[in-house]
Structure 1
Amino acid sequence: MFTNSKGKVLFLATVYTHLAYFHIPFMQLLQNKGYEVHAAASPDGGGKEDVEATGAKCWDIPFSRSPYSPKNWRALKELCRLFEAYRFNLIHVHTPVAAFLGRFIARVKNQGPVLYTAHGFHFYRGAPLKNWLLYYPLERLAFRWTEGLIVINREDFESACRLGFEPGRNLFYVHGVGVDLGYYTSLSSIGEYVRAELGISSSDIIVTCVAEMSPNKNHMLLLSAWKKLSAEYSHCHLLLVGKGELMPVLQKKVRKEKIPRVYFLGYCRDVPQILRESDIFTLTSKREGLPKSIMEAMAAGKPVVATNVRGSRDLVEHGKTGFLVELGDTEGLFLALKSLIENEELRKTMGKAGREKIKDYSLDRVLNEMEAIYMRYL
């Protein structure tokens, strides 16, 4: 499989699910150019099978998302062994813990150049002080081990400049991880099987949130607003797509407070079809880089209600492609969703505007942007 390759490229992230969800097109881009692609991450949470299906060689590294976890010492040792066994022509790192350790060991072990995609720095306007005290100094330190930094929103671009990176030399802005616009167009002839499976009428309203059930995604805000909405609109349904540590807590809240018409769908492979059958998309995160779920919803022609945070506000134009609400503003979220529930024409107008805007974030465009960066270092 790997004979006569031009060289070896490693994709490194804390968990395989990140690589599977965001980076398979870029792995395939390099494979098509003749490079041998490897991937290293923790197998916790799945995703490894999807990465292996591309033909990439996978290496299990027991990273923890917490920078304080002792598991990362073992991950450091495993990473050393991998870099002693292979020399990579290019290493593309993602997610804070894996990116920091990967850049450090790559330099120690004399690996090839390292690219880091910041999917949203953990230090940002409004971030907790502890984030600034931990992550900002680490990124200042890792500057010397980073041949190229890729950012996906304007705020991070400005932060990267302050860290010492120079646009066009070792700092690059790309339009996220891209979304396949053609794929959403091809779904137009598929029936409404999601509604059928859930017993939801074609005339009812579906509001969908696609997000990992973690504290950052802030589902509690959404459920608080939904409790009020569901009491006022009996024809509305909330689909929660994703899983995570907070799923049992959220399910308990729904049961205890008897919040109706909330569906926990877990991990789903048919997210595009779910979005196609939805009427409104919402994301209430406390922090984002450039959320792919919003990009997909806009590609599906859906209006978006999101919190006014970095990344989300790069995509959602308030009053044009959807609405932005402030963190903690339950009433504002309620009113934004209410206005879309009650106005079908507004949903259509905003959905159409969103699909037009998201053309700038098409997968084809992002593949071209990334190809230029990869070739610069390879």
Structure 2
Amino acid sequence: MSKILRILNRLNVGGPTLNVAYLSKYLNKKYHTEVLAGHKEPFEGSSEYVLNDLSIPYKFVPDMYRSIDLKRDYKAFKYIQNEVLKYKPDIVHTHAAKAGVLGRLAAYHNRNRPKVIIHTYHGNVFDGYFSPLKTKIFLAIERYLASISTAIVAISDQQKNDLVNKYKIAPADKVHVIRLGFDLDRFSQNSDEKRQQFRSFYNIQEDEVVITITGRLTAIKNHCLFIEALQMLKQQKPKLKFKAFIVGDGELMEPLIDKIKQTELSFCRVADSNYLADIIFTSWRKDIDVINSGSDIAALTSLNEGTPVSIIEAMASKKVVISTNVGGVKDVIKDGYSGFLCEQTPESFVFKLKKLVEDKELRDKMGANGKKFVIENYSYFRLVQEIESLYSFLLKEKN
């Protein structure tokens, strides 16, 4: 039996937790997995329930948080290093940035160095996060970490191209493209019933088009663009009947509300019940399948993305999607086929959003196309098979 130590940034809502959960649960029994995770930020939704629902044991790494703090980070590094020493894994597989730094260093600089060290990039922090100087420093660190890694996993073709050619982090033969995988069944089940449940609760009229955006309320997700596009949409003549839902939470909740106050748009806070408002904030929700069923259009306005889980789940719910053309988004959305890709301007966004709001037949056609694509390409069965093949290949090479 081969032992795997899987290390995750933090247990917050998003793709990395789901990736870790499905791999830990469904890998061949010849692999034994232990999971270490950092701590989420106070405003982030917890994803502990994902691992708990699948009966996956895990331990928190003391002092491992998203933000950079050299004193805390060193303590977290020593903790992981000690776990590697005790567990003696054959494979250390890290997921996302902070875990990738501390986990790979702790594995490589260890008396019990594992045979294989792998890192999965679920996104990157090289665009839209830090100043040019800090970005150069992080790139230098990532290049060193790639040199001590046995393999790198990119979650899209675009991401591999960025890692190899744009940022020159690793050579092409070290980077393996393995798309994320999810349990998408619940997004197809009882859709009509869920739609009725959602729209009845929020008093949504049959002819109102619901536009939903899901994600952390943080700068990189660029919700300001979403609000600006909605304001322009409301000013269209003749007026269009729509309602928007902002699903998620974060440090920009109040600044976003302040921005809405400067427009003609009305809003409903999480604890309020003004469901006649143009924009309704829901905070974090576990019933995304219900929200997707009740929605008509799924939106994404990010400045940078790896593979956006919210869009894949919406497509599995047979919803048309509209997104800024960033990162690995174009590997998921085929422009004009399953949705629209836009420039990072409200004019570009609202031009295509208006088409979707006005044309139900177009929404239905694109939604059906998108569902077929993600069901075929983003199943966790495929994810597990491809990761198993990579593990087997790398261990065989080392042996």
TM-score, normalised relative to structure 1: 0.89
Evaluate the alpha carbon distance shift between residue 264 and residue 126 of structure 1 in structure 2; reply closer, same or farther with a 3 A threshold: closer
Q: Secondary structure at the match of 2:282?
A: strand
Q: Partners in 1 of 2:292 and 2:58 — Cα distance?
A: 32
More moved, 182-191 vs 306-315: 182-191
Distance apart, 1:28 and its partner CA: 0.3
Q: Secondary structure at the match of 1:186?
A: coil
Distance apart, 1:77 and its partner CA: 3.0
Residues 19-30 of structure 1 aligned to structure 2 (within 5 Å) = 19-30=16-27
Q: Secondary structure at the match of 1:190?
A: helix
Q: Partners in 2 of 1:306 and 1:131 — Cα distance?
A: 28
Residues 252-271 of structure 1 aligned to structure 2 (within 5 Å) = 252-260=258-266, 261-271=278-288
Contact 1:225 1:333 in 2 (8 A): yes
Q: Partners in 2 of 1:247 and 1:278 — Cα distance?
A: 22
1:196 alignment partner in structure 2: 200
Contact 1:302 1:348 in 2 (8 A): yes
**Matched residues, percent identical?**
25
Evaluate the alpha carbon distance shift between residue 255 and residue 50 of structure 1 in structure 2; reply closer, same or farther with a 3 A threshold: same
1:141 alignment partner in structure 2: 144
Residues 167-186 of structure 1 aligned to structure 2 (within 5 Å) = 167=173, 170-175=174-179, 177-186=180-189
1:306 alignment partner in structure 2: 323
CA-atom RMSD, angstroms?
Answer: 2.5
2:295 counterpart of 1:278: yes
Q: Unaligned regions of 5+ residues in structure 2, if any?
A: 267-277
Number of equivalent positions: 369
* CA deviation string 1:240-272 (max 9, x = no partner): 111111122212322454522111111111112
Residues 209-228 of structure 1 aligned to structure 2 (within 5 Å) = 209-228=213-232
* CA deviation string 1:64-112 (max 9, x = no partner): 3234664323322332333343322222111112201110111111332
- RCO comparison, higher one (Cα < 8 Å, 6+): 2
Match of 2:386 among 364, 369, 372: 369
Evaluate the alpha carbon distance shift between residue 23 and residue 230 of structure 1 in structure 2; reply closer, same or farther with a 3 A threshold: farther
* CA deviation string 1:299-357 (max 9, x = no partner): 11111111011211222222222111111x11111111111101111111111221232
2:363 counterpart of 1:347: yes
1:11 alignment partner in structure 2: 6
Contact 1:122 1:131 in 2 (8 A): no
Q: Partners in 2 of 1:95 and 1:301 — Cα distance?
A: 29
The amino acid that maps onto 1:351 is G
1:50 alignment partner in structure 2: 50
2:347 alignment partner in structure 1: 331
Q: Partners in 2 of 1:341 and 1:49 — Cα distance?
A: 35
Q: Secondary structure at the match of 1:340?
A: helix
Q: Partners in 1 of 2:129 and 2:338 — Cα distance?
A: 25
Q: Unaligned regions of 5+ residues in structure 1, if any?
A: 1-5
More moved, 218-227 vs 240-249: 240-249
Q: Partners in 1 of 2:49 and 2:331 — Cα distance?
A: 32
Q: Partners in 1 of 2:340 and 2:211 — Cα distance?
A: 14
Q: Partners in 2 of 1:206 and 1:299 — Cα distance?
A: 17
* CA deviation string 1:261-286 (max 9, x = no partner): 11111111111221122111110000
Q: Partners in 2 of 1:368 and 1:361 — Cα distance?
A: 12
Contact 1:52 1:58 in 2 (8 A): no
Q: Partners in 1 of 2:22 and 2:150 — Cα distance?
A: 22
Q: Secondary structure at the match of 1:16?
A: coil
Q: Partners in 1 of 2:31 and 2:160 — Cα distance?
A: 31
Distance apart, 1:15 and its partner CA: 1.0
The amino acid that maps onto 2:9 is T
TM-score, normalised relative to structure 2: 0.84
Contact 2:153 2:175 in 1 (8 A): yes
2:272 alignment partner in structure 1: none
Q: Secondary structure at the match of 1:163?
A: coil
Residues 22-171 of structure 1 aligned to structure 2 (within 5 Å) = 22-30=19-27, 32-33=29-30, 35-44=32-41, 45=44, 46-53=46-53, 54-67=55-68, 70-109=71-110, 110-112=112-114, 113-123=116-126, 129-130=132-133, 132-161=135-164, 162-167=168-173, 170-171=174-175
Contact 1:90 1:377 in 2 (8 A): no
